[in-house]
Amino acid sequence: MAPAAGSKRMKGTSIFRPFVYGTTARRFDESNPRPADVPADHTHSWTVFVKGVDNTDITYWLKKVQFKLHESIQNSIRTIENVNAGEPFETSATGWGEFEITIKFYYIPESNEKAQTIYHHLDLHPYGNEQQQQQQKDNNEVMSWRYEEMVWNEPYESFFEFMTTPMDRSKGSKGGMGKGTKLLGGGMVGSTGERTASIPFSTRPGQPFSKETEREESKKLKAALEKVEAQMGDFQ
């Protein structure tokens, strides 16, 4: 699609929006019984998704998502669109094996940007250290989630303007979030909202990515760096 009249790319500028993607898998057992129509060799049910951090709206920039699953799975190419603001683009399946899922992002046509693809490994089995594996077994839930940022380099002026202009989320407005939907940073959606790139301050169950997570990660990196520096000191 041709860009809006007079729109040109903004040299030296980039714009980004955070999102979360990944898989959640559960094995079939008493807590998650295998449905009668599912083949006996299928050991797990799982879901792959793309969503906003803390379920913020991403539908104003993401129009549809195509999930390409393993060919052995029924209806292996699945296109998800027309999701409500704040809800995930997701699809579920059952099976026995792990594989690489292809996730293709189609942006709103106004962006004039081509679709982009990322890959995600479906994890069915507990992973991590012993304690993490035990927790996943106890909860019968293997979450393989990633925080990512979609970056548009040198976006068209019209798209940049669209992305950085507050949007009307008043009741009944098209594309608005539901009343009372939580905004990133803890605010609540009122009559206007930002098309925000910020992430929440703190982590809560089901929402592992936040400023708090970032701080914890940087603490871990700092501690690892100090350890390496101390070890290097021992060699000198």
Whether the Cβ atoms of residue 52 and residue 105 lie closer than 8 Å to each other: no
Tell whether residue 121 is a contact of ligand SLL (CB under 6 A). Answer: no
Whether the Cβ atoms of residue 19 and residue 103 lie closer than 8 Å to each other: no
Tell whether residue 206 is a contact of ligand SLL (CB under 6 A). Answer: no
Tell whether residue 73 is a contact of ligand SLL (CB under 6 A). Answer: yes
Of 13-21, 91-99, 108-116, 219-227, the window that binds ligand SLL (rule: CB under 6 A) is 91-99
Query: Among residues 52, 86, 95, 176, which is the contact residue for ligand SLL, using CB under 6 A?
Result: 95
Q: Tell me the CA distances in angstroms from 109 to 4, 46, 61, 63, 165, one per residue in order.
A: 11, 31, 9, 8, 17
Tell whether residue 97 is a contact of ligand SLL (CB under 6 A). Answer: yes
Decide whether 16 or 96 has the Cβ nearer to ligand SLL.
Answer: 96
Q: Closest separation between CB of residue 95 and ligand SLL, Å?
A: 2
Tell whether residue 96 is a contact of ligand SLL (CB under 6 A). Answer: yes
Query: Among residues 9, 34, 68, 70, which is the contact residue for ligand SLL, using CB under 6 A?
Result: 70
Tell whether residue 106 is a contact of ligand SLL (CB under 6 A). Answer: no
Q: Closest separation between CB of residue 19 and ligand SLL, Å?
A: 26
CA–CA separation, 105 and 67 (whole Å): 9
Whether the Cβ atoms of residue 214 and residue 53 lie closer than 8 Å to each other: no
Tell whether residue 201 is a contact of ligand SLL (CB under 6 A). Answer: no
Site for ligand SLL in 19-38 (CB under 6 A): none
Tell whether residue 72 is a contact of ligand SLL (CB under 6 A). Answer: yes
Tell whether residue 67 is a contact of ligand SLL (CB under 6 A). Answer: no
- Interface with ligand SLL (CB under 6 A), residue total 7
Residues in contact with ligand SLL by CB under 6 A are 70, 72-73, 95-97, 99
